[in-house]
Amino acid sequence: MSKFLRSWESLLILILGITTAVNISLAPEFLTLQNQVNLFQLSIEKIIIATIMTLIIINGEIDLSVASIMGLSACTFGTIIDVGMPASLAILLCLGLGIMLGAINAFWITIIGIPSLVVTLASLIGYRGFARVLLEDRGITGFPDWFIALGRDGLIGSLPLSFFAFALLVATLSIVLHRTGFGREVFTIGNSAEVAHYSGLRVARVKSILFILSGGISAMAGLFYAARLASVRGDAAFGFELDIITMVLLGGVSIFGGKGSMLGVVLSILIVLNLRNGMALMNITGHIQTAVIGILLIASVLIPNMLERLRSVST
Amino acid sequence: MISPPLAGERSTIVSHPILELRHISKSFGMTAAMADVSIAILPGQVHAIVGENGAGKSTLIKILTGVHQPDEGEMLVDGKQMQIRSTEDAQKHGIAAIFQEPMVFPDLDVAENIFISHHNLGLVMNWATQYQHANEIIARLGITLDPRRLANGLTLAEQQTVEIARALSLNVRALIMDEPTASLSAHEVDRLVQIVEALKMRGVAVIYISHRLEEIFRIADTVTVMRDGKHISTKPISQVTQQGMVRDMVGRSINHFSMKVAANAHGEKILSVRNLTRDGVFSDVSFDLHIGEVLCFAGLIGSRRTDVGLALFGVEPATSGYIEVARQPVTIDSPQSALKYLIAYVSEDRRKFGLALNMPIFANISLPSLKKLLRLFGLIDRKAEIAMAESHRERLSIRTPNVTIDVGKLSGGNQQKVMLAKWLETEPRILIFDEPTRGIDIGAKTEVHNIIRELAIRGVAIIVISSDLPEVLMLADRVLVMREGRQMGIFDISEATQENIMALATGQTAAMSQ
Amino acid sequence: MNVLLRNFHPQTLRVITLAVVLLLVIVFFVSQIDNYFSPRTLNRIASSAAVILPIAIGQAIVVMTRNIDLSVGSLVGITAYVTGDILAYAPFGPFLTLFIALSIGALCGAFNGVLVAYGRVPSIIVTLGTLALFRTFLVEYSEARTITTDSLPKWVVELPQTTLFSVGVLEVRVMVIVALVAALIFSLALWKLRAARKFYAVGSNPDAAIMAGINSERVVFTAFVLSGMLAGLAGLIFLARFGNITVVAGLGFELKSIAAVVVGGVNIFGGSGTILGVVLGTLLVDTIDNSLIRWAIVSEFWREALLGILIMTAVAVDTFMARSYVQLRKLVA
Amino acid sequence: QKGGTANLVLLPKFLGILPFDQARRGAEEAHKELQNKGSLDYIGPTPENSVAGQIEMLTTATTQKKNVVMLSNNAGDQIAAAAEAAQAAGTKVVTWDSPIPSGKGETVFVAQVDFGSIGVVMADMAHSIMGGSGDFAILSATPDAANQNAWIAAMKETLKGDKYKNLKLVDTVYGDDQAEKSYNAALALVDKHKNMKLIMAPTSVGIVAASKALQDEKLCDKIKVSGLGVPAEMVSYTMNGCAPEFALWSFVDLGYLTYYTSYALATSAIKGNIGDEVNAGRMGKFKIEADPGRKNTKRILMGPFTVYNKKNVEAAAK
Ligand SMILES: Nc1ncnc2c1ncn2[C@@H]1O[C@H](COP(=O)(O)OP(=O)(O)OP(=O)(O)O)[C@@H](O)[C@H]1O
Ligand SMILES: Nc1ncnc2c1ncn2[C@@H]1O[C@H](COP(=O)(O)OP(=O)(O)OP(=O)(O)O)[C@@H](O)[C@H]1O
Ligand SMILES: [Mg+2]
Ligand SMILES: [Mg+2]
């Protein structure tokens, strides 16, 4: 779109190139197929949600409750299996639950008119609480084999179903966002909800659709999580929201809405995954990993800003 | 702190300029907004700057006040070279500005809005005295505004007066006004002119930008014309004619100023409004609108004309009353429902309600008519979209390298044109313009007037809310006058004069207005 | 009535609503929990809120300027730990210690502030980064040691039980007073200090602030320094209250403080809010939290779910009241 | 047996906490003693990201073809899949401190003490502190902590015994291993249960927080604290009577033994079957046996643990 965005993405490509080069030269195992599969597999649920989070943040909102919806849907799945109902039914119920949880968020945000940060902060706490209510101190295992296989085994090659779900989401959401009328509405509302309203756009409807989608996709991610780990517990997916938001912001999506691209987010996802994987292979602890990503996040905005300023001063 | 200017106090003998720009250039990417401009500002004088939209006037102001840094050239304050890095810096040098787009703090009350950036009022607030001072300044401006009211919800005109009050209270040596009267009506303009006169007496240098040429002739001592970022001429007002000034502005002679043409032949009744009321805001507005007719709403600022427009567009629905479109009773409770009946509304506040500033021109133009561009699976036809934007760019002569740049980067007048384009594209049956020519230059103003008339001829029913009385008289077939939320009367254009409209608008009886 | 309505600042109403909601919550729990309305319970809730209150005030100031500070939790951790560590070597008195804690906090806050105000990096990005960065610093610095009460001077260990004065059976504790004094100072400053009003201005319309000649960079920077300082104060209170400090100290406080701030009626998009509201918001969240764990018929596992629901309800009630008030006012005007 | 090559990873629940650091010291001691030519990495996730982080780190170690990952499991059965994948790729998983509940993917669990006997010890401490009768409550870490849950279950089992018939467990609450939550939870217990005489906290964070809370509220003469704690952190509360008795084992030894076991597995000195014997340097010989607490799993029992009181706590705290 604008020049700045283009340069942001080229910056990301540069960072990605450097990270990959460093990883290849310093971590011999990096390029192995298994490692490349693991690299996605380990964070697959986060990156799936990052796709819809991109739309939500471009829309000028935020959804902090995604990880709690994931947790609650995973725990609901566990509970349903535990009482002996078939897994296929459980899957449907959980997806429905996710959509409902998203709709509850949407209700407070669009109908009552409370800022999404506040609403989803409360539902972050509340939904997680219901996961606790369901499972208390239990963990649930014993899911059907086909379900577990779905989460773990390769569907084509060694790539599991969840990977294709991610790819499909990236493709469709990126077309929706950048090529369709709905996407244009998302951008416009993010830019100025008032202008959008005055232009006859149905602001509440667009927002509701996004939050409901977010609920559904988070529930799906929760199911992938349950399948991959073959077990659920009350703390499933705890704290994932910050990682997801970090990826989206590093992708150049403006936290104030109205700006960003799916390409940027995909690049940023690749960077974060590569970086984490590379550091893990170099035996760097979790704290340092998080700190490095934090520094990268700040630096990726700070350095272009500084360069811009230097340029304007020197000319 | 706030000493009212004393009438009769004579300005000291003018010797050297307070402010001087020498060979200033500034470009934004490819656009050269200012190229090698030099001017000197003398104390006790009103220095008007005129030019077409995008000529670089606002850029000049922003450089004088430190919002932008020049690429080249130097600035002198009191004959000494200075760098002004921020508006704070500028204020320290005694320079303050009223910017083109009013900027208030919605969460602060009017009084705080006026005094927030004062540096010498002491550490501790005294709310009571602050309100008192605010009242004094507001009174001088001749408007009614409660200093305790939050700025949130002020109309554009009210915001502009708050900004004027803020600048006046600063006790400056050089005051820059970028289209201060763009949304004021004649009444308030008169007061402003008086205040400017008084400032002049005290030796304040005033830089005055306006597209209303008659104002320039009223108050300016010197006129500088800019075109395409270049300095064209600086002359004492006595040596300037309107024709000559316009020629300098556009680079050629224009003769076809807006002129009143005979009223259109009206068609059928398309809109009928009866006793439209929004509780506590306006009440009992009733009128009919016919195909091909231009109905103008006149009134002072805050007379709630905009609110009637908003009600008809469904943004702030009316609480009672009756609306009929094409003889069908309708309820309009949202912009979508208004658009469904092919009613469009061009807001007076382009930055807040009109344009998504960080989106490209084409996306802004296509926004309300996006449906036309949708193809299979809801994909947007990009080519058609660009073509749509290009056609408007040509028709309205929007000054921009291309239609893919962000609207926010255009000059104020060009933004206004983009907003007009956006609503023209919806091809409505009923089109409400709220201050349609706010901030656009006379060339373009003529163009807009022509467009409005053309639309009317083509069968669109038009409502124009305008504070610009000459404009009202020129465009209208009928004039509806409002005052404090009430409809004071409707004139046929044949009976309407500036005097009788103002008399109704200010609440004087017809007898008193002789 | 009319005059009353017109002269009410919307914020005044928020505060009154909050107070009413808080009262309702208390009345509810009084009916549910035996012996609830006792000096003892009051004391405990107050002491618990005293840890969060300073952070919430700092957060509120930052939020008023249309920013957010996610690093406060890590800041509390750093101050609590490093101050504890310093005290172990040099058992300073209260004032010097307070100075040290505030300085540590202010320093970290300044780091955030420079990046946000002068580096022009959005605050959520900066503080999301420093949330991790500060915590990592702490983990590296601590080398897995724990600060224990034994290594702390006696006055620190005894601070939580030190009472300033008693009103009947109600003991008013020093830490509660310290937190309240902080609230009072900032409340007064935001109301009365001309410079402090600029926090509102910058948050209300950042562009206008620049145009009006407000040095918004300095204002935003100051907000972060203050937030850091107040987190430092909270760190000191944390240290005194819990005595045992590990690297997880203050984990998750950022969300708690944001919850207190939004419940307290501070506009998350900047420009408005009062410290009194924040005090009530903090008390409300903390009271709900601390009452739920005392409510016998609610199982341990229902607590979080109820907390989420109650926060939502409180905010919704507040929004409704504020909205109907605005409507009422329009009618009257 | 010395001087072999084994690449080992010590993976605690998270970093920065004393007990885990002690385990590291034990492991390093063993690493030196055994003159291992391979590597010993001490890595861990952040507390907020503990579950996902442990799974990630275990998977990475598998990719790196490490021989053994020594895991203090914080992820419950959620890590079983990764552990099974590790085993399949030839990386053994030895758990310590906290096992994988289902035992899936776990080679052997190095148990600090017999989980059943911790139940007995806690019950005994409660019995002796309360003088044989009274109400008490448990303040645990998180509802998800496998080891804590096992100990609580074992204690409840023990309480059924005749000796404890006058002890009444009235409540179980969680402090999420956070100081302020545990502190508030302790005070809430006090308010909720008027006749409560003891808070039993089988977690080092909970026990100090509860002790501090009762001390601050001057309740120590009415209500006592007990459980599992680190002497250095507990010494003042034991000396002033708030927490007269608590228990713990040596984390240094636990790290040491876990290392020896893992090294033996890596160098194929043992297969990891029941009956295999680990020669653990200064600690002597240990046998792999069936874990009585979990079906189809194996453990090595370290033991013993120490009960600390006024007499021995000061020395241990040094
Ligand atoms: N921030 C910006 N970025 C890019 N271009 C800009 C920016 N601000 C102004 N320009 C360009 O500079 C030129 C001069 O604009 P300026 O706002 O000074 O015009 P103006 O004379 O004030 O016009 P108007 O009468 O419409 O207000 C225009 O072509 C405009 O597009
Ligand atoms: N005393 C008041 N209290 C609250 N709001 C007021 C008050 N006076 C005016 N307003 C607000 O100002 C607006 C009234 O003016 P409106 O915009 O309808 O008039 P207008 O004639 O178009 O004036 P303008 O020329 O300023 O646009 C309304 O939106 C209303 O909310
Ligand atoms: Mg301009
Ligand atoms: Mg108007």
pLDDT surpasses 80 at B30: no
* DSSP letter (8 states) at residue B109: B
How many domains, chain C?
Answer: 1
B57 CB under 6 A from ligand 1? yes
Chain-centroid distance of CA A123 in Å reads 17
How far is ligand 1, taken at its centre, from the CA of residue B425, in Å?
Answer: 24
CA separation for the pair A99, B162 (Å, rounded): 48
**D244: three-class secondary structure by DSSP:** coil
Instruction: Please answer whether residues C13 and C239 qualify as being in contact, where contact means their C-beta atoms are separated by less than 8 angstroms.
Output: no
Query: What is the largest distance, in Å, between two alpha-carbon atoms of chain A?
Result: 72
Chains D and A touch, using 3 or more CB pairs below 8 Å: yes
DSSP alpha helices (H): ranges in B396-497?
412-424, 442-457, 469-475
Element (H, E) at D306: strand D306-308
Residue bearing the CA closest to ligand 2, atom 8:
B302
Model pLDDT, residue D90: 93
pLDDT recorded at residue C49: 94
Element (H, E) at A63: none
Distance between CA B185 and CA B192 in Å, rounded? 11
Q: Which residue segments constitute the domains of chain B, with CATH numbers given?
A: 42-69+78-250 (3.40.50.300), 254-342+428-438+456-514 (3.40.50.300), 350-427 (no CATH)
Question: What is the CA angle B384-B389-B395, rounded to 5?
Answer: 125
Q: pLDDT tens digits, residue range D36-45?
A: 999 999 999 9
Token pair in block for residue A1: 């779109």
Amino acid B491 reads F
Q: Give the pLDDT score at A215.
A: 97
Q: Do B105 and C205 touch (CB under 8 A)?
A: yes
Name the neighbours of C, counting chains with at least 3 Cβ pairs within 8 A.
A, B, D
pLDDT of the residue at B395: 83
Using the beta-carbon criterion (under 8 Å), do C211 and B280 form an inter-chain contact? no
To test the ligand 1 pocket, which listed residue (B27, B59, B63, B406) has its Cβ within 8 A of the most ligand atoms? B59
Q: Of B301-315, C30-44, C272-286, which gets the smallest average pLDDT?
A: C30-44
Identity of the residue in D56, D78, D101 whose CB atom sits nearest the CB atom of A42:
D56
Among residues D78, D82, D36, the alpha carbon closest in space to that of D262 is found at D36
Which one has a higher pLDDT value, C14 or B131?
B131
pLDDT bucket at A2, cuts 50 / 70 / 90: very low
Q: What pairs with residue D260 in β-bridges? A: none
Residues of D in contact with A136 (CB under 8 A): 143
pLDDT at B396 over 70: yes
What is the atom index within ligand 1 of the atom nearest the CA of B399?
29
Average pLDDT, integer, range D291-295? 86
Sign of the Cα torsion A6, A10, A15, A17 reads: positive
DSSP-derived pairing of the beta strands D134-140 and D92-96: unpaired
Nearest Cα residue to D180 out of C256, C22, C69? C256
Residue B487: beta bridge partners? B482
b/e burial code for range D3-39 (CB count within 10 A of at least 16 → b) = ebebbbbbbbbbbbbbbbbbbbebbbbbbeebebebe
Q: Which two tokens stand for residue C183?
A: 């609230």
Residue C146 touches chain D, beta carbons under 8 Å: yes
Q: How is chain A split into domains, by residue range?
A: 33-306
pLDDT of residue B32: 85
What is the residue-wise DSSP string for C182-218?
Answer: HHHHHHHHHHHBTTTHHHHHHHH-HHHHHHTT--HHH
| Tokens linked to A17 | 């190139």
Q: How far is the CA of B154 from the centre of ligand 2 (A)?
A: 6
The DSSP annotation for A134-165 comes to HHTT-EE----HHHHHHHHS-SBTTB-HHHHH
Q: Mean pLDDT over residues C258-265, rounded?
A: 90
Residue at token pair 């001072």: B133
Q: How far is residue D282's CA from residue D55's CA, in Å, rounded to a whole number?
A: 32
| Average pLDDT taken over every residue of chain B | 86
* Separation of CA A256 and ligand 3 centre (Å): 26
Taking CB atoms and an 8 Å limit, are C125 and A298 in contact across chains?
yes
C-beta separation of B388 from B366 below 8 A: yes
Contact C109, C220 (CB under 8 A): no
Give bridge partners of residue B329 from the DSSP assignment.
B324
**C310 φψ region: left (φ > 0), alpha (ψ -120 to 50), beta (else):** alpha
The residue with greater pLDDT, B500 or A310, is: B500
The yes-or-no verdict on residue C146 having pLDDT over 50 is yes
pLDDT surpasses 70 at C4: no
Q: Give the pLDDT confidence score for residue B1 in this predicted structure.
A: 39
Tokens of D165: 């018939």
- C213 in Cβ contact with B90 (< 8 Å): yes
Taking the C-alpha atoms of residue A110 and residue A115, their distance in angstroms, rounded to an integer, is 9
Please name the residue that has the structure tokens 């290849």.
A24
Type of residue at A180: T
The CA distance from B109 to B113, in Å, is 6
Residues C110 and B318: their CA atoms lie apart, in Å, by 51
Spatial separation of the C-alpha atoms in residues A143 and B135, rounded to whole Å:
74
pLDDT tens digits for range B458-490:
889 999 999 888 889 888 899 999 988 899 989
Give CA–CA dist D235/D242, Å, rounded: 10
Ligand 2, atom 31, lies closest to the CA of B153
Interior/surface letters B127-139, b for 16+ CB within 10 angstroms, e for the rest: eeebbebbbebbe
Q: How far is CA B34 from the centre of its chain?
A: 23
Contact A12, A252 (CB under 8 A): yes
Is the shortest distance between the CB of B31 and ligand 1 below 6 Å? yes
Tens of pLDDT along A229-275?
999 999 999 989 999 999 999 999 998 899 999 999 999 999 999 99
How many angstroms separate the CA of residue C234 from the nearest CA in chain A?
A: 22
Mean pLDDT value of segment B331-353: 91
Of the two residues B31 and B321, the one the predictor is more confident about is B321
The model's pLDDT over B363-380, given as tens digits with 9 standing for 90+, comes to: 999 999 998 899 888 899
Chain centre distance of CA A180: 22
Query: What's the gap between Cα A300 and its chain centre?
Result: 20
Record: contact C10-B150, CB cut-off 8 A: yes
Q: Does D38 touch chain A (CB under 8 A)?
A: no
Question: pLDDT tens digit string along B212-242?
Answer: 888 899 899 999 999 888 999 899 998 988 8
CATH number at residue C300: 1.10.3470
Q: Which residues of C touch D21 (CB under 8 A)?
A: 143-144
Does residue C318 carry a pLDDT above 80? no
Q: Would you mind telling me the total number of residues written for chain C in this entry?
A: 333
pLDDT reported for residue A224: 96
Alpha carbons within 13 A on the beta-carbon side of D99: 27
CA of B64 to the centre of ligand 1 (A): 15
CATH 1.10.3470 holds for A33-306? yes
ipTM of the complex: 0.91
Cα-Cα end-to-end distance for chain B: 40
* Residue B102, ligand 2, Cβ within 6 A: no
Confidence of residue C3 (pLDDT cuts 50, 70, 90): low
Question: Hey, are the CB atoms on B103 and C272 less than 8 Å from each other?
Answer: no
> pLDDT at residue C191 above 60?
yes
Nearest-10 crossing angle of helices A161-179, A145-152: 60
Among B349, B367, B375, most A C-beta atoms within 10 A, so best to mutate, is B367
Among A52, A49, A88, A14, which residue's Cα sits nearest to residue A267? A14
Element (H, E) at B227: strand B222-227
D211 touches D201 (CB < 8 A): no
Q: Which residue has the tokens 């172990």?
A: C88
Q: Produce one character per residue of B292-302: b if its CB has 16 or more CB atoms within 10 Å, e if not.
A: bbbbbbbbbbb
Query: B292 or A209: whose pLDDT is higher?
Result: A209
The residue range of the domain holding C219 is 2-332
Average pLDDT over residues D295-317: 89
Task: Using the predicted structure, report yes or no on whether residue D303 has a pLDDT greater than 80.
Answer: no
Cβ A225 vs Cβ A70: under 8 Å: yes
Q: Which of A230, A235, A242 sits opposite D144 (nearest CB)?
A: A235
Per DSSP, the three-state class of A168 is helix
Instruction: State yes or no: cis peptide before C94, omega within 30 of 0.
Output: no
Give yes or no for residue B285 CB within 6 A of ligand 2. no
Q: CA–CA distance from B305 to each of A191, B65, B104, B464, B480 (Å)?
A: 28, 34, 22, 10, 10
Cβ-based neighbours of B187, under 8 Å, separated by 6 or more: B142, B300, B502, B505, B506
Taking Cα atoms as reference points, which of A220, A251, A260, A267 lies closest to residue A44?
A: A220
Q: At what angle do helices C216-242 and C197-204 cross, to 10 degrees?
A: 120
Contact call for A139 and D57, based on CB within 8 A: no
> For residue D16, what pLDDT band results from cuts at 50, 70 and 90?
confident
Per-residue pLDDT, D11: 96
Across the range C227-232, mean pLDDT stands at 97
| Whole-number Å distance between alpha carbons of D75 and A176 | 38
Report percent pLDDT > 90 for chain C. Answer: 55
Classify the phi-psi angles of D227: left when phi > 0, otherwise alpha if psi is within -120 to 50, otherwise beta: left
User: Are residues A179 and B379, on separate chains, in Cβ contact within 8 Å?
Assistant: yes
